[in-house]
Amino acid sequence: HPGTYRNIISINLLSGYSAGTDLLEIGLISNHTELEVRGLQFAGIANTVGINAFAGLTDKEKADKIRAGFEANLTGGQFAGFSNIVITNVFGFQIAGFSNTACGALFGLQLAGVANVVHKYSFGVQLAGLVNNSHDSMDGIQISTLFNHTTGGLYGVQIGAFNKVGFIEGVNSYANNDPTGLQMGLFNYAKKMNGFQIGLINFGKTMQGTQIGLINIYQGGKDIDTRDGTSVGLLNIGNHVFLAAGGNELFNMQTELSSGTFKNGRILLEMKNKYVMNELIYAQNYRAIAFNNAAWAIGYGLKKYYFNRSTFPGRGEYWFFSYGAQWMHVNDELKKFKKDLSLLTRLGVTVGSKVHPKLSSLYVFGTIAYNTYWNQDGNSIAPSFLRAEIASGKNHFEFWPGISAGVMIH
């Protein structure tokens, strides 16, 4: 009757079975204990803690046993060639070639070739070749090559191709008593995202944190007196879009499509509406010969807008000012993309106003800017009477002030 004995040290030629282990257990194939392990288990294939603990019991008897305080815990470490399973909690670590499972909580480390699974919450680290899952919450780090998941809160970091959480709290939360969470991956998903997401595609169903990615998809928050977050990316799919067209000292036509976030829509006492907007830019000189060797350009911009918050009817956002930067790749031939370095950086301050109160979405604007152009072929695009130049080896820099004007639809 090995299930009635606790062993201090157990050496099993094939497999071992006991009530518990208090120091060390080694099995060529497997080790199984009914109650708990305090120490280390080494198995060629599998270690199990809590095996047969509920054998022959009805669901009611099982629930009564758990209610009475039964736990089959690991306090120590498990090493297995294939799998480690603990029926309740892990206080320590599990290392396996295929998978680790804690049917309760994890306080420590799981390292697996394929998958780690925690049925409740985790305080620690999960490292897996493919999948990590901590069902109720994750307070620590999950790293995998494919998928990290928790249905509850993330109070740490997820790094993987696909990351999914129930919620992340952060600096813009209604009651910020929790550390900020971070997701890093190709695709990040959070039903409530008040922390950070960094990836190619970020989805924040209720977003009051920060998204940095190629495509950001979000919805505004809902809690009164909280700020929405900031999305930084090429395409931001949410509630707010600006479209602008105008000209400047380099291009007689420049169009900008801006998408981003409305920062303070639920804070009623502030005197200005604040937006953080990302711009996709296309500029061109509509002439047979390019003006100052600048034929066309594409680029990206990041700006912060302040619109007035008037209490008078029809004048809610009558004027605005903004500041930010634009980065453009300038091409000196129409219909041809220049492969060499040709980077224009444009820092600017813009002021705008509605054309007429009845045209609620149409604004005119003017911008004062300062330009830096960096290339390695000696090409010059700056107006000659404004230009300052520096050359250092292959690198050629130009500096000059600029202006622009146009119209914007908000």
pLDDT in tens, 204-230: 988 989 999 999 999 888 878 888 889
Find, among 199, 195, 191, the residue nearest to 216 by Cα: 199
Least confident of 159-173, 246-260, 309-323: 309-323
Question: Token pair of 333, please?
Answer: 């031939």
Residue 179 has pLDDT above 70, yes or no: no
Find, among 274, 160, 277, the residue nearest to 216 by Cα: 277
Give CA–CA dist 305/363, Å, rounded: 13
Q: What mean pLDDT comes out for the span 386-393?
A: 88
Rounded alpha-carbon distances, angstroms, from residue 193 to 133, 136, 149: 19, 17, 14
pLDDT of residue 95: 98
Confidence band, pLDDT 50/70/90 cuts, at residue 58: confident
Residue 125 has pLDDT above 70, yes or no: yes
pLDDT of residue 318: 87
pLDDT of residue 52: 84
pLDDT, tens digit, for every residue of 73-95? 999 999 999 999 999 999 999 99
pLDDT of residue 1: 78
Confidence band, pLDDT 50/70/90 cuts, at residue 198: very high
The amino acid at residue 385 is F
Give CA–CA dist 174/393, Å, rounded: 54
